[in-house]
């Protein structure tokens, strides 16, 4: 049976909740999961709830760590599966890794909410930073990228 990668999106919790925070992860890349198996815990501004695997497969990438806030609909993790009912979530990246940074002259990097928050807390303007390495999901700037950038430029 052929397998393919799917990008599992952060769930939508209604019209008033536009982002969720990862509280806990129960899996790591390479973990086998069953449909309905608990993957982790997510928190909205109103509650904490369990997030379950939408299919049987193997976790190939996790795009957020505990403490990260992701917008509803943003790619949360990638699963390699053979579940044809989820082909609509098929990853555009196929089985290849996403690029780590935009090409010269390309579109500016997209920042995760956590990255933006950390940059502002460090007194930086994300719109003016052009030399940061973006290693997050889909080539986005992650919180870890900002922490490395601040450490490199402040020492």
22 and 42 Cβ atoms separated by less than 8 Å: yes
Three-state helix/strand/coil letters over the chain: CCCEEEEEECCCCCCCCCEEEEEEECCCCCCEECCCCEEEEEECCCCEEEEECCCCEEEEEECCCCCCEEECCCEEEEEEECCHHHHHHECCCCCCCCCCCCCCCCCCCCECHHHHHHHHHCCCCHHHCCCCCCCCHHHCECHHHHHHHHHHHHC
pLDDT at 78: 92
Q: What is the per-residue pLDDT across 64-114, written as a single tens digit (0 to 9) for each?
A: 888 888 888 888 899 999 999 988 888 865 543 333 334 344 445 677 778
pLDDT score recorded for residue 57: 95
Phi/psi of residue 76, nearest 5 degrees: -95, -45
- The whole-number pLDDT of residue 39 equals 93
Q: Which of residues 53 and 102 earns the better pLDDT score?
A: 53
Q: Is there a contact between 3 and 80 (Cβ–Cβ < 8 Å)?
A: yes
Rounded to whole angstroms, the Cα distance separating 52 from 102 reads 32
Q: Going from the N-terminus, what domains does the chain have, and what CATH number goes with each?
A: 4-89 (2.40.50.100), 113-154 (4.10.320)
Tens-digit pLDDT profile for residues 1-36:
688 999 898 888 777 777 888 899 999 999 999 999
pLDDT band at residue 138, thresholds of 50, 70 and 90?
low
């Amino acid at each position: 049976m052929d397998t393919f990668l799917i990008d599992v999106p952060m769930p939508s919790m209604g019209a008033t909740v536009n982002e969720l925070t990862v509280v806990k992860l129960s899996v790591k890349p390479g973990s086998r999961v069953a449909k309905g198996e608990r993957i982790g815990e997510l928190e909205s501004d109103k509650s904490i709830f369990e997030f379950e695997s939408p299919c049987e497969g193997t976790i190939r990438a996790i795009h957020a760590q505990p403490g990260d806030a992701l917008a509803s609909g943003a790619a949360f993790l990638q699963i390699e599966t053979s579940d044809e009912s989820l082909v609509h979530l098929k990853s555009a990246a196929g089985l290849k890794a996403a690029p780590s940074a935009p090409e010269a002259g390309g579109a500016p990097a997209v920042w995760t909410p956590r990255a933006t928050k950390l940059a502002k807390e460090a007194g930086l303007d994300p719109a003016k930073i052009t030399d940061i390495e973006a290693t997050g999901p889909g080539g986005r700037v992650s919180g870890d990228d900002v922490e490395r950038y601040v450490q490199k430029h402040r020492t």
